[in-house]
Amino acid sequence: LQELQSSGRGRFLLEHAAPFSAFLTDSFGRQHNYLRISLTEKCNLRCQYCMPEEGVQLTPKSELLTAQEIITLARLFVKEGVEKIRLTGGEPLIRPDVVDIVGQLYKLEGLKTIAVTTNGINLARLLPRLKEAGLNAINISLDTLVPAKFEFIVRRKGFHKVMEGIHKATELGYRPVKVNCVVMRGFNEDELLGFVDFTKDLPLDVRFIEYMPFDGNKWNFKKMVSYKEMLDTIKQRWPELEKLPCETSSTAKSYKVPHFQGQISFITSMSEHFCGSCNRLRITADGNLKVCLFGNSEVSLRDHLRSGASEEELVQVIGAAVGRKKKQHAGMFNISQMKNRPMILIGGLSLAFQLLRCILMSGFFFPPEPELMSLPLCQDALQNPPNSKQWGHWLTLRASCCVFQKHPSSKFDTKCLEASPFDQVSVDCQPKAASPESKFCNRDSGSRTEVPRASDKLTHTDEEGRATMVDVGGKPDSRRSAVAAAVVRLGEKAFGMVRQNQVKKGDVLAVAQIAGIQGAKLTSQLIPLCHNIPLNHVEVSLSLDEARYAVVIHSSCQTWGRTGVEMEALTAASLAALTVYDMCKAVTHDIVIEEVKLLSKTGGQRGDFSR
């Protein structure tokens, strides 16, 4: 209000404010003065976080609203009392005429706020022109602060472009710059404190959004992290967290760490819905009016507009739709069973919505820490997501990870992902030198195969020949290690694409490394008679062998326990190899996985082994 009073345009709007329209007031007395307009269904990211598994059928361009139709409808809503318009998508900033649309909206008398919600990829480039055109509020969707995780989720580079957009917005004077983060259990709730710390030196409002159900995202309560749970986690680190006052119609509960420039907010759409003060309406890119985000009831304003409906007739149509708006969540008691558009066709963004689907589409799903969870390798795993501790061991790659690090002895450029201390991974284009810890063996080193003392019978069968698990309860604890290897022959074309990181599914070497590490952890779930072993260390290394057009995989596992880890090492090498195959099979099916073998093992009653 103070900002409006201090500007000439603001004083004019306040002095000439008209009585609020009855057509935008529903049967519960809620006045709808906030309109969200989707400019496009398309997006320049490919994570499919808000799409059904089978994808979405994009509306033909001829059926989407034109710029003039958008302005016509916006003018009508503003005339009836709308004071704020937010432009959404898909990704609104990929629409070529977005700057012109903002400029025309700014000319509408009575419109106080023009906002945009964006994934931030194009923001830094367009923001100076958008600001000049009249854009005065920005929401940027960002669900992770880890560059490697961002790229892994969306299968596109761009994290640094998003960060550049955030900093550009603060430089141009936007206060605050809102950052939307959808929190999902097991995916990014371990980054809550990092996002809060993000507000320390920047004028940001990081908004933690409770995960909501939409068609195709297989929502369930296990994935949702409630506002109170998030708040408790943050207060453990910052007990001095202060609650801030908020407006009646605000969807956010806002807090601030004293002396931080920015603040945080919680959008409690599920645990504490704000339907009673809802003032929002939505127009989809194909011109349908949605009075509730959770409802599937829509009215085509485009069809009425193109059939020559008068302004008065359009107002009557809008008023009837608003009048039918339910008290809360479209009148449904069980919103998880609702039928609705996929999120991308409504106009909302968030990278975390379908992180798990992205991983499944990459060809593997290996939840770590098998002693904590048993999940099948199938889509049903979406219904039972692993928790943060599980995913956090591997997916929370450090923000300091190196990109395009070149090995001193290699002529190839490749990516290097630095994982957590529990799961060391590396990528080289030449075989790594042997280290005391990994005990990688060079197969050309001339070392002979030493055969340890063997058992005179199969240990995994009983006297009647039935399968049985070996009882290791009486064995002493000792240090155990194992090293295994595998080779994937790709052929010249696929090898070249892997080497240049041009495979459409993503970074083959990085994904295969992660798969191998998770495979080691999941061994007891895949191999029926294997014991569940707490691994102290897992290392997976992939190198490129140009002479054979092959990826050479080495895996090393260590533990302190009563049984060995050769099966974990073999599983790691095998699953890394299978992942390479899966990611390259679109290029060629003439791929051979070979030389899956144990290279060495130490510890145990039967002694050491080296090939």
- The CB-based long-range contact list for 592-597 (8 Å cut-off, 24+ gap) reads 592/488, 592/489, 593/486, 593/487, 593/488, 593/489, 594/486, 594/487, 594/489, 595/485, 595/486, 595/487, 596/484, 596/485, 596/486, 596/570, 597/484, 597/485, 597/486, 597/570
How would you label 545-563 residue by residue, b for 16+ Cβ within 10 Å and e otherwise?
Answer: beeebbbbbbbbbbbebbb
Give the number of residues written for the chain: 611
Neighbouring residues of 140: CB distance < 8 A, sequence distance ≥ 6? 117, 118, 119, 120, 123, 162, 165, 166, 169, 177, 178, 179, 180
H, E, C per residue of 138-155: EEEECCCCCHHHHHHHHC
Please indicate whether residue 582 is annotated as part of the active site. yes
CA–CA–CA angle 346, 61, 341 (5° rounding) = 20
| CA atoms lying within 13 Å on the CB side of residue 480 | 22
Burial, 575: exposed, middle or buried (Cβ in 10 Å; 0-12, 13-18, 19+)?
Answer: buried
What sections of 367-442 are H helices per DSSP?
388-392
Q: Are 146 and 500 in contact (CB under 8 A)?
A: no
* Residue 425 structure tokens: 């991974």
Q: Is 120 helix (H, G, I), strand (E, B) or coil?
A: coil
Separation of alpha carbons 442 and 547, rounded Å: 17
Q: How far is residue 349's CA from residue 209's CA, in Å, rounded to a whole number? A: 11
b/e for 349-375, b at 16 or more Cβ within 10 A? bbbbbbbbbbbbbbbbbbbbbbeebeb
Paired strand residues for 487: 552, 594
- Cα–Cα distance for residue pair 436/432, rounded to 1 Å: 12
**Catalytic: which of 205, 286, 582, 590?**
582
Q: Which residues are catalytic?
A: 582
